[in-house]
Amino acid sequence: MATERFGHLAILFYNHLTPNVIAVLWRPSALAATAFSAMTSEFKRPIDNEWQNDSMVVTNIDDVLREIYFLLRHAAVNLKVLHKASA
């Protein structure tokens, strides 16, 4: 269900040995800025500071995670966001 809806934005990983963990790997295209279009505006937000000038948008990751958590509410107990450590 979540994979069908968000497969164009992320890859969801599930391991039957640890069913309490569902990992999300964002596709690079999901994090790229694009021109605003009403047809593809779901889960989008304006780019910070300069949105009036260029009307560019990016995927609102927080909204996508909330929706995934809602869809998996009977399987997922908690949601944690882990960031890659910077070198």
DSSP state of 40: G
Asked whether residue 31 is domain-assigned, the answer is yes
Which residues constitute the domain of residue 48?
2-71
| pLDDT tens figures, 31-62 | 888 888 888 888 888 887 665 666 788 888 88
In a domain, 54, yes or no: yes
Within a domain: 43: yes
Mean pLDDT over 54-74 rounds to 83
pLDDT at 84: 65
Residue 34 inside a domain? The answer is yes
Better pLDDT: 52 or 72: 72
DSSP letter for 32, please: S
User: Is residue 62 one of the residues assigned to a domain?
Assistant: yes
* 52 lies in some domain: yes
Structure tokens at 69: 């958590």
Cα–chain center distance at 12:
10
Q: Are 57 and 34 in contact (CB under 8 A)?
A: yes
Task: Tell whether 35 is covered by a domain.
Answer: yes
Domain count, the chain: 1
The pLDDT, as a whole number, for residue 47 is 82
